[in-house]
Structure 1
């Protein structure tokens, strides 16, 4: 099979996987039984708490992006991950084998599973402290750690404001539903294209951090609220790894799609 045929086939596979992710149907039991209960809880959550969580998530993103990335990078071997990508990418360019494409995937999957385990421990311990505010910066660090490692696995750096915005769009896309999710999916693709083609991009990172903070806060608010109740104080054990896994899965899809689009473009 020719190089461009293999790439096109792999691209079609990942695009189908993306559509499946974007068109997931809500479980019938959850929709009929759980969602109404969640809505009742949400209506009882004080506005002050909503505002506090939004600000805390924003401060968490701001800290990690402005000062904390150096500390996050101490939790994994950046050079080793990128070196593995470099070797696999060289092999793909030379031999165009599905085996080496799978090797890149394998590296990115390991990051998500390990970080989901870390977030389970973090959620179980810090969830007992109350509403969960103390663990939000740490939770955001685990999210960014997961995305950073996946990005490196596919050969992408993350230091620029453009790449940080791409990361924030990934989080928004993973944590929203329906048409809103599809809008973020398109925004992510368009931004990736602009970055990779060196197109000028006007970005206000602060606004996008606020936007992402509001979405992530709203998604986790009910779980964090329940987390503060003594009877179910360890809900973070279940919630946090679920979120990490979901973001990790979506991130792998998007970075692999971006990687393959670049390879297809090089063939043309």
Structure 2
């Protein structure tokens, strides 16, 4: 089904030369997408800016081996995604499903992966520093598997290099600074598989590290690491799921 033209302010669009009226769910999805874009574009308040400064200060106290663990994990994730060798799963036939049916399936998938991440966060958070460090690569793997599943559920093929790059941009969109989110949103809105932008891999790593370092480092603290691990992993998977849904909506409801 090819969308040739669409007015995002109304509920009529052209499909394969004919006029199709948006159903109630598609209108709702379009409204939620607009609200999400406004949230992304919204400037942070004073409290958020102060928290960011505190985070930057805290980063200087994080042990070098933790920084190295995160960096090595991200490098490994990028290599696995680009090679397409690790996150492939059984393909689901979603071609004829409506947007609502696809997103119901996506919601169920996000819930399942979120539960897995919570269990993993509790286990590694309660086990102390050494095992707690293992949470970083484990959580990255869970996040990537989720994104590959979501890609398939929306009808895209993550076997292709272009779609794997799109997945990495979703990841960057979810876990980066305000400025980088807006920049990445622009790339996603103008997505052209035949003209892929260059990805700054060093910046990609640093943005992710800056985004999660402080909350995840508390997971390594004896006594309340399990609680922090559960909360952090729940929040991070919810954030990733919301970002992925809206990024794919941009493509499916694109003007």
In the alignment, what sits opposite 2:184?
184
Identify the match of residue 36 of structure 2 among 18, 39, 46.
18
Distance in 2 separating the partners of 1:15 and 1:30? 23
Question: Which one has the bigger strand percentage?
Answer: 2
Distance in 2 separating the partners of 1:177 and 1:145? 23
Q: TM-score, normalising length from structure 1?
A: 0.74
Asked if structure 1 preserves the Cα contact closer than 8 Å seen for 2:56 and 2:210, the reply is no
In the alignment, what sits opposite 2:16?
none
SS in 1 for 2:157: coil
1:236 aligns with 2:229: yes
The verdict on how the C-alpha distance between 1:188 and 1:45 changes in structure 2, with shifts beyond 3 A counting, is same
> Structure 2: 5+ residue runs without aligned partners?
1-10, 13-18
In the alignment, what sits opposite 2:7?
none
In the alignment, what sits opposite 2:6?
none
The verdict on how the C-alpha distance between 1:202 and 1:103 changes in structure 2, with shifts beyond 3 A counting, is closer
Q: TM-score, normalising length from structure 2?
A: 0.77
Aligned length: 233
> Structure 1: 5+ residue runs without aligned partners?
89-99
CA RMSD of aligned residues (A): 2.9
Identify the match of residue 213 of structure 2 among 201, 217, 221.
221
The verdict on how the C-alpha distance between 1:38 and 1:201 changes in structure 2, with shifts beyond 3 A counting, is closer
Identify the match of residue 252 of structure 2 among 245, 259, 264.
259
In the alignment, what sits opposite 1:45?
62
SS in 2 for 1:158: coil
In the alignment, what sits opposite 1:6?
22
Distance in 2 separating the partners of 1:202 and 1:102? 31
In the alignment, what sits opposite 1:95?
none
Question: Which one has the bigger helix percentage?
Answer: 1
1:86 aligns with 2:104: no
SS in 1 for 2:223: helix
Distance in 1 separating the partners of 2:177 and 2:158? 26
Asked if structure 2 preserves the Cα contact closer than 8 Å seen for 1:107 and 1:153, the reply is yes
Instruction: With a CA cutoff of 8 Å and minimum separation of 6, indicate the structure with the bigger relative contact order.
Output: 1
Deviations along 1:221-251, whole A, 9 cap, x unmatched? 1122211110221111110121111011010
SS in 2 for 1:136: helix
Distance in 1 separating the partners of 2:53 and 2:195? 45
In the alignment, what sits opposite 1:165?
165
